[in-house]
Structure 1
Amino acid sequence: MEYRKLPHGGEQISVIGLGNSSLSAEVGEKEIQATVEMALENGVNYFDMAAGDSAPFMAYGRALSGCRDKAYLQVHFGADYHTGKYGWTQDLEEIKRSIDWQLKSLRTDYIDFGFIHCVDELADLETAVTGGALEYIQALKAQGVVRHIGLSSHTPAVVEKALDLGLVDMVMFSINPAYDYRHGEYAYGQVDERQALYRRCEAEGVGISVMKAFSGGQLLKKETSPFHQALTEYQCIQYALDKPGVLTVLPGVRDRKDLKRILGFLQATAEERDYSILGSFAPQDASGVCVYCNHCQPCPMGLDVGLINKYYDLSRAGDTLARDHYNNLEKTAGDCVSCGHCDSRCPFRVAQSQRMEEIKAYFGK
């Protein structure tokens, strides 16, 4: 397993986490428990608890018995399961009852990440603030019951407003090529708006946990893909992990068979993870924008072109550490000899040689 550090706190979070939308009563609590145990055995330590029904909670409680410290639980304030099925509420008293039930079912007395649930409209965020949900999470954090505050959303503008509050350590956001290129039900925001959000999160030390990495499975089939070509799970996972701010991707699995296949990503070759085919799908306003895929590698001069671009973009976005990271690189933009190798290989039509000159002028080396 690979891990990435949460800037606000330092927790080491597995790049592959586990979503619970498909771990439901249909597969049975025994299979849910076995799947969670298998995940833990393979180094998965980040679990999103927004489930399709109430079945996973008891199973998780049993699976985590005696090893609660090996898991980070992302619990949603607003997800309600009193009927046995998933429901959404903004009523403070219902939220409190749901959180109490979730804690008891999970057999724990603390929540690693307390998330305001499903904040897709500015009105939802306003309700969370004025209706007491955010204040409730803050009170639990002051008591040590909640370790970190976050929220889940599909809407860049809403997340930007939440970041303005200065209280968020983690954001659950939908990232996949379809949404980023304006295809699908939750494809909110323009290309540059979504990319700017990812950069802001990294610049401000806010982690991103990724939902809907496969666009609800649509990207995995030619018949349903908006690009009329299927992508693989591994391509979609790598695409999300290459975005600034992303710490973990949370695929939904139905059972141990699904989980085993997802975990195969960790042994996948660079070719199996390569998503450069997206360059032929990119809309006009995404053309010429580096997405850090490093398909241009290997550079004859040894430059990590993707990382150089990333530090440049992050520095301009306000990340004060990006300049230091850039200065510590073994090879910088100043080492570029404009051979054109990267220009000819870039699937997103970035004029990298020209960009290296721009980056050299910006950093001074």
Structure 2
Amino acid sequence: MEYRVLPRGGERISVLGLGSGSLTGTEEEMENVIRAAIQNGINYFDMAPSEQAPFYAYAKAFTGYREKIMTQMHFGAVYKSGKYGWTRNLSDIQEQFIWELNLLGTDYTDVGFVHCIDDRDDLEQVMSGGLWDYMKVLKAEGKIHHLGFSSHNPDTARRLLDTGLVDMMMFSINPAYDYQRGDYAIGKVAERARLYRECEQMGIGISVMKPFAGGQLLDAKTSLFKKALTHEQCFQYALDRPAVMTVLPGIRNMQDLDTALKYVTAAPEEKDYSIIGEFTPQDAEGICVYCNHCQPCPKGLDVGLINKYYDLALAGDEMAADHYRKLPLHADDCIKCGHCESRCPFHVKQESRMDEIAAYFNN
């Protein structure tokens, strides 16, 4: 299992986490799935199931592992009826959080998320209705180690990032949504890409929901591109976005877990998602997404990193120029052989872009 380090805190997070929204079966079956996930190196768990039942399985499976795993609890997801419900009522949220801590036998959650905040009115309610203040108090008391939120909307997300208090964001990332296909494809191509870069610049980690667009991308009959992608391709796509720490596929049972874990040992060609270059919209053309499908560069340039540091520098990251200059080869080392442009699924004109990048950093 590969792990990535959360910039604010230093925790190591497995690149595959476990999404519990689809977890089903008997309590024993669910416990076995969760325990198998832990034993296979998964250490990041999203705590927003569709029913209350998985919490009891988590309580048993986490026994003896609490210091080795990370929980992502949602402030706004409640289970009074035994089924998932969504509320902004502060007393209900407080009651749910205390119940979860007591059931799991812990006194904190690693990440506390404002649950599903997608529009400005909802954001205003969260900020003025007491929920955000309550979560800040819990953070000060150590009952929340990191503040965060889940959203599908780049505009709303950016407003929460501007508080300066957020360490993590849960966002829907997959090639369909990023390239304006599907119900949750909120924001233009460039706007979504800019959000990911800003998170990286600010040291905010991203946990990814809906990596398969609700399963649609895995079947040609339902795919928003009319072509099926594999689990491995969807995972790799999300993990290649700036700031992404972990991807949280919805796991229903042991078979789903086994399927997800195949990513760990998959060959690079099995993870290659360059096929999406065949069906990206026109306004995605020419945008480098640092996928490195142009590699290997005959000269040895790390084309993806050169582009990333340039974009971060343009976004205001003062450290990006220093990172760029520490690279062994730079944009002005490009020999204009055309290899990268011939392989780029997004048809980026890298030769002229290398001239642009070199001019920027050499000034």
What TM bracket, shorter-length normalisation?
over 0.9
AA aligned to 1:109 is: D
Aligned to 2:8: 8
Aligned to 1:101: 99
Deviation, 1:23, is 0.8
Deviation, 1:324, is 2.1
2:162 matches 1:164:
yes
Deviations 1:35-74, CA, capped at 9 Å, x for gaps: 1111111111111101110111111111111110111100
Distance (Å, rounded) in 1 between the aligned partners of 2:284 and 2:261: 31
Aligned to 1:237: 235
Q: Give the alignment's TM-score, normalised by structure 2.
A: 0.98
Aligned to 1:203: 201
- Whether the 8 Å contact between 1:299 and 1:342 is mirrored in structure 2 is yes
Q: Which moved more, 1:315-324 or 1:55-64?
A: 315-324
Give 3-state SS (helix, strand or coil) of 1:124's partner.
helix
Give 3-state SS (helix, strand or coil) of 1:38's partner.
helix
Aligned to 1:343: 341
RMSD of aligned Cα (Å): 1.0
Distance (Å, rounded) in 2 between the aligned partners of 1:95 and 1:73: 17
Q: Which runs of structure 2 are paired with 1:24-173 in the superposition (5 Å)?
A: 24=24, 27-173=25-171
AA aligned to 2:103 is: S
Q: Percent identity?
A: 58
AA aligned to 2:253 is: D
Moved over 6 A (4+): none
AA aligned to 1:332 is: H
AA aligned to 2:4 is: R
How many residues align? The count is 363
Distance (Å, rounded) in 2 between the aligned partners of 1:319 and 1:23: 40
Query: Among residues 349, 352, 358, which one is paired with 2:350 in the alignment?
Result: 352
Give 3-state SS (helix, strand or coil) of 1:311's partner.
helix
- Whether the 8 Å contact between 1:202 and 1:319 is mirrored in structure 2 is no
AA aligned to 1:160 is: R
Give 3-state SS (helix, strand or coil) of 2:4's partner.
strand
Q: Give the alignment's TM-score, normalised by structure 1.
A: 0.98
Deviation, 1:161, is 0.6
Deviations 1:184-231, CA, capped at 9 Å, x for gaps: 111111111111101111110111000000000000111111111001
Distance (Å, rounded) in 1 between the aligned partners of 2:54 and 2:320: 40
What are structure 1's unaligned runs of at least 5 residues? Answer: none
Give 3-state SS (helix, strand or coil) of 1:224's partner.
coil
Deviations 1:225-273, CA, capped at 9 Å, x for gaps: 1111001111111111111111110011111221111111111111111
Distance (Å, rounded) in 1 between the aligned partners of 2:303 and 2:287: 13
AA aligned to 1:124 is: D
Distance (Å, rounded) in 2 between the aligned partners of 1:256 and 1:264: 13
- Whether the 8 Å contact between 1:301 and 1:336 is mirrored in structure 2 is yes
Deviation, 1:321, is 2.2
AA aligned to 1:32 is: M
Query: Among residues 174, 178, 181, which one is paired with 1:176 in the alignment?
Result: 174
Q: Which runs of structure 2 are paired with 1:204-283 in the superposition (5 Å)?
A: 204-283=202-281
Distance (Å, rounded) in 2 between the aligned partners of 1:316 and 1:331: 20
Aligned to 2:306: 308
Deviations 1:258-317, CA, capped at 9 Å, x for gaps: 111111111111111111111111111100111111111111011111111111111211
Deviations 1:76-134, CA, capped at 9 Å, x for gaps: 00000111100001000010111111112222111100100010111111111111111
